[in-house]
Amino acid sequence: MKKKLLKALSLIFIFNLILTVPKIEVQAQDYWPSSVDVTAEAAIVMEEETGAILYSKNMDDVHYPASITKIMTALVVLENCDLDETVTFSAEAVYGTELGSSSIARDVNEEMTVEQTLYGMMLESANECAYALGEHVAGDINSFVDMMNAKAKELGCKNTHFNNSNGLPDDEHYTSAYDMALIARAAYKIPKFAEIVGTKNYTIPPTNKHSEPTMLNNHHCMLHYFKTNQYLYEYCLGGKTGYTDVARSTLVTYAKKDGMTLVCVVLKDQTGEQYVDTTNLFEYCYDNFTKYHVSDFASISEDNTDITGKLSEKSELIKIDKKGLIVIPKAASILDVTSSVVPYKDDTNKAVVGQLQYSYAGRNVGYANLLFTNAETGSYPFDNLPVEQGGSGKDYIQVNYVKIGLIILIIIAVAAVIMFIKSKSSSILLFRHRFKAKHYRQPKTNMTIIRNNGKKRRRRR
């Protein structure tokens, strides 16, 4: 009952927002920077926080991913395992991968932690590590592949199907640049994943099968000079490489500059050119785009209702999260941005009741969450959520069910009184009729009574 009541209130608020948030007319609909090209057959650059697509080339075309598949493998593992769990390498993991493919030469029944195995898979692209992790999580590799495909669907991938955990050639194993960017963006939100892909080298200590430590090096040439320093990029945060004869060179890279984190994916590129293409795309985006937080809007425009809508500071129950942001071309103005209310798809954060979706030139360029306020005016019975639950202490609230219960009881009591009065209305009307009959003259009949000498005599009229 409590959840239904809160949901009903949320729906009412969202409906009102849809009616009240203004739309701003776009003044530069056709402008979008497009002066860069790449040799890769497909490519995309996505802003990590908003998901805004800053550049794309054939982003929905299907290609083989090769070892960037392991980003999805790592994502599923990290969502389903503790890092200190023990991974045991089966004969299928050791011998079931293609001969001569990437490996760190593990032995049957060798034991490592999940964390160590992840480093082996992501830095050295070890295929037996990817296989062993899949078996560890799901019991067998086919079940793990099902988990990978389910996660891809959950993220909104439309042109992706996995058939193994390592990316070795398979006709039923493919993706697109856009889908891979969605996967890479989701994985990077996990701090341990970001730490692993940004690590230049790592040492696996001796195991039950290897008496010597195993040294690992990150193969991403924009981050680490393991093979060459020709492609080093100072803003690179890490990523994952891939290559097979059919996939050619594939690459996922993260970079951060001027407070903006970007994810770049290139598919079916020429060897060496994947780094050149990625670097050029990053520089193009950093040169041509900038990021604004909602909290910055007021400093740009005295009347910030153009961006945040009239409810921003005037609603007692809902306000816009100031941590929301947009990414637009540097030559554009935030006044060229439109806003509209959309549903919030993540049910885990109950304080968020919707989102403002920002668009520019027909493209989604950012969002801001719509939050319950603490209703300090007392108009509605809400209390703040604590900071340890992810709130700010002011922006996030919870329902005070005691106060709501009292309000409901008052409403029920009033309704009961009305029903009681209605049920007694007929008795009240009868009493009123008798009262009038007793205190007022009876109406004349067709007989007139006259008195004569103390006797009554009737006379017809």
176 annotated active-site:
no
Name which of 339, 278, 336 is nearest 32 in CA terms.
336
User: Given phi > 0 = left and psi -120 to 50 = alpha, else beta, which region is 237?
Assistant: alpha
Q: Which residues are annotated as a binding site?
A: 240
10, 102, 125, 249: the catalytic one is 125
Interatomic CA distance for residues 389 and 110, integer angstroms: 40
The DSSP 8-state label assigned to residue 305 in this structure reads H
Helices (H), ranges, 45-126? 69-80, 91-95, 114-123
How many C-beta atoms lie closer than 10 Å to residue 20's C-beta? 13
Amino acid symbol at 115: E
249 annotated active-site:
no
87, 113 contact by CB (below 8 A): yes
Interatomic CA distance for residues 431 and 437, integer angstroms: 10
10, 57, 67, 319: the catalytic one is 67
- Residue 392, helix vs strand vs coil: coil
34 annotated active-site:
no
How many C-beta atoms lie closer than 10 Å to residue 34's C-beta? 9
Interatomic CA distance for residues 347 and 326, integer angstroms: 23
374, 393 contact by CB (below 8 A): no
Catalytic residues: 67, 70, 125
